[in-house]
Amino acid sequence: MAYQLSDIVLRSTKYPLVFSKEEKRQLEVFLEGFTFETLDVWVDKREFLVRKVVGRMKGEWQMGDLESPSERRYREAYGGTPMDGTAIYTMDIDMQYKKIGEDIAIEKPAGAKTLEGFMKEAENSSNPGALILARRKGTDAAIKGNLAGTRTMAELYYDDHGGYGTKAVAAGPCPHSGAVVNTIFHDEDIATALDAVELDAKQRPRCALIPGVHGSWAISAPLQAERGYYWCVDSEGTSRKTKEILRSTKCPAAASSTR
C-alpha cells in the first residue's frame, strides 16, 4: 500500500499549518509528488512507543510545477525561461528509537559559571563597555531578525492580495497598523514586527511603498551597536547594512563594516 506524504502533513490536526492559497497549492503539488512505496512501523506492545521505522520514499515532479510565486514574478519581470524537465528523488528510511524515557545525566563542567554570575562579573570588570556592546549587538540581531520576517510576510500578503497594497506610502516613519489600510503595513503580523523593531531601535523604522501588481517596498531601521548605520530590507530580496537613510522603495548601497 502506498502512503501519500501530503496525507500526513496537510491533514494533520496535531500540527496545523497556515499558508496562503498559492503556497498551499504549491506545497500540495510538492508533497503529492512524494509516495511511500513501503512503510513499516514497529510499536512497543506494552508501552505503545515507536521503536523502529523502515521504508522507502520516492518523489517525482514536473519542474515547472515547483516554481514559486516569487520566482515566477521575477522571471516575468526580468525575463527568463520556465523550468522544464522531471525531478526524481528516492530515499530509504531506517530509524531506530532507543532509551526512550530514560533519565539523562548532565554533568556541570569544571569551572562553569551561572548566567547571573557571568553578568555580574562583566558589569564589575575593567571594561564594562564590552557588556554594553554585546547587548547592543544582541539588539541588532533582533532588529535584523524582525526585518527579515517582514520580507516573508510581505510576500504572503502579495500572494493573497495580488500586490503589496493599493496606496502609496512615501519614505518616512512606518505607518502604524490601521493608518494605511489595504497595504502590507496594515497586516497584523508585519505591524507587530515593526512595533518590535521600534522598541529595539528606539525610534520608528522608515518605510516606503509603491502600490500595484509591479509595486515595491522597503523598510529600514537604525542599528544600535554600529551607530549611524541602518539595516534595510526591500521587495527585491535585499537585506543589508547601509550608511544612508531610506528615501525610496529600494535599499541604499551597502556600507562596509565598522567592527
- Write out pLDDT tens, residues 44-76: 777 778 888 898 888 887 777 777 666 677 677
Across-strand partners of 231? 221, 241
- Beta carbons of 34 and 5 less than 8 angstroms apart: yes
Cβ atoms 140, 226 nearer than 8 A: yes
Residue 16 scores a pLDDT above 50: no
Asked if residue 88 has pLDDT above 90, the reply is: no
pLDDT over 60 (residue 10): no
Higher pLDDT among residues 173 and 181, named by residue? 173
Which grid coordinates belong to 45? 506492545
What integer pLDDT is reported at residue 128 of this predicted model? 61
More confident residue, 101 or 136: 136
Give the other-Cβ count within 10 Å of 165's Cβ. Answer: 24
Q: pLDDT value at position 1? A: 41
Which pLDDT does position 2 carry in this prediction?
43
CA pair distance 228, 5, nearest whole angstrom: 50
| Per-domain boundaries in the chain | 3-96, 128-242
- In residues, how long is the chain? 259
Count of C-beta atoms within a 10 Å radius of residue 129: 9
